[in-house]
């Protein structure tokens, strides 16, 4: 079982372009659940190591529903990652969360359609993990503190509603989602966040607002959204440059909620599944 406490980042390919980042090596990992979105990049910022996976692949070739979320999380856990910071673009469902705001949600609402593999359990292993508090609040606080220190507008709390995509919402759908009192809407953080819970990892999201979904009368053009994404990418680089060293120097303890998840009699679990559980529960 891996006793390391490494840092993992899941996000866009812009992380490669952070000034001062040192690429150490790439790890080609095949998991029992298939291949991750790309090789896992081992890198350093100010001498502090972290691992990075571009969620949609290096050349952005994977739709949200095509991402192998299980392989991504399992590959990071295999490398000893304990803390996972997710960065993703989202639409805002609230007036007070304008474009370029970084939202740090505390909850997720799963509105996907069942196309995604969403658990490590099954095939002879029955396991249940609570997602009542899907985000690690200590990690969320550290991200909020970092955003404040580097001058990035942020909002802590609220819910991230995850849709299947790849299409954006209709106006009717967007109106329904606002009735849920959700803060932002995206396509990638479920089942990613729930799998991180099953793997016993501390997970938190940086949801970068690009637009107001489609509920506002003003309909953003693709060009406007792309310009906002460029701004957000610059902001998230600023955050990560400070956040990764801060976390590396203050690796906090937490109680993984997966330790008592497995209900199946150990005698009934085959050797391959035991190996999987050793990594997940380690």
pLDDT above 70: residue 16: no
User: Is residue 216 very low, low, confident or very high in pLDDT (cuts 50, 70, 90)?
Assistant: confident
Helix, strand or coil, per DSSP, at residue 230: helix
Lowest mean pLDDT among 8-12, 72-76, 151-155: 8-12
Average pLDDT, the chain: 94
- Quote the pLDDT of residue 1: 43
194/143 Cα distance (integer angstroms)? 19
Q: What percent of the chain lies above the pLDDT cut of 90?
A: 88
Mean pLDDT of 266-274: 95
- Quote the pLDDT of residue 208: 96
Residue 179's closest CA among 169, 167, 190? Answer: 169
pLDDT above 50: residue 265: yes
- The structure's pTM equals 0.96
Mean pLDDT of 34-43: 96
Number of H helices, E strands in the chain: 6, 11
CATH superfamily of 6-270: Nucleoside phosphorylase domain (3.40.50.1580)
- Residue pointed to by tokens 């953003």: 220
Contact 160, 188 (CB under 8 A): no
Classify the phi-psi angles of 87: left when phi > 0, otherwise alpha if psi is within -120 to 50, otherwise beta: beta
Contact 242, 149 (CB under 8 A): yes
Count of Cβ atoms closer than 10 Å to residue 6 Cβ: 19
SS3 content of the chain, % helix, strand, coil (to 5): 35, 25, 40
Q: Which residues are catalytic?
A: 211, 213
- Quote the pLDDT of residue 18: 75
Mean pLDDT of 63-85: 98
100 backbone dihedrals φ, ψ, rounded to 5°: 80, 0
Domain ranges of the chain: 6-270
Mean pLDDT of 237-263: 96
């Amino acid at each position: 079982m891996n006793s390391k406490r490494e840092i993992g980042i899941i996000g866009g390919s812009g992380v490669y372009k952070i000034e001062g980042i040192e690429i150490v090596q790439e790890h080609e990992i095949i998991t029992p659940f298939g291949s991750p979105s790309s090789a896992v990049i081992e890198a350093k910022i100010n001498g502090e190591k972290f691992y990075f996976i571009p969620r949609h692949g290096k050349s952005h070739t994977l739709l949200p529903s095509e991402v192998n979320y299980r392989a991504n999380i399992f590959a990071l856990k295999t490398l000893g990652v304990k803390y996972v910071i997710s960065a993703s673009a989202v639409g805002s469902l609230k007036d007070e969360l304008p474009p370029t705001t970084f939202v740090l949600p505390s909850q997720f609402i799963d509105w996907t359609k069942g196309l995604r593999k969403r658990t490590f359990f099954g095939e002879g292993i029955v396991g249940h993990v609570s997602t009542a508090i899907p985000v690690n609040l200590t990690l969320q606080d550290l991200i909020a503190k970092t955003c404040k220190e580097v001058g990035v507008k942020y909002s802590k709390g609220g819910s991230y509603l995850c849709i299947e995509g790849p299409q954006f919402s209709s106006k009717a759908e967007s109106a329904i989602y606002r009735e849920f009192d959700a803060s932002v809407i995206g396509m990638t953080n479920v089942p990613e966040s729930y799998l991180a819970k099953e793997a016993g990892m501390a997970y938190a999201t940086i949801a970068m607002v690009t637009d107001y979904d489609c509920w506002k009368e003003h309909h953003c053009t693709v060009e406007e959204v792309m310009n906002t994404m460029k701004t957000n990418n610059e902001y998230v680089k600023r955050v990560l440059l400070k956040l990764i060293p801060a976390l590396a120097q203050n690796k906090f303890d937490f109680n993984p909620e997966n330790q008592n998840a497995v209900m199946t009699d150990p005698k009934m679990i085959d050797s391959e599944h035991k190996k999987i559980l050793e990594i997940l529960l380690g």
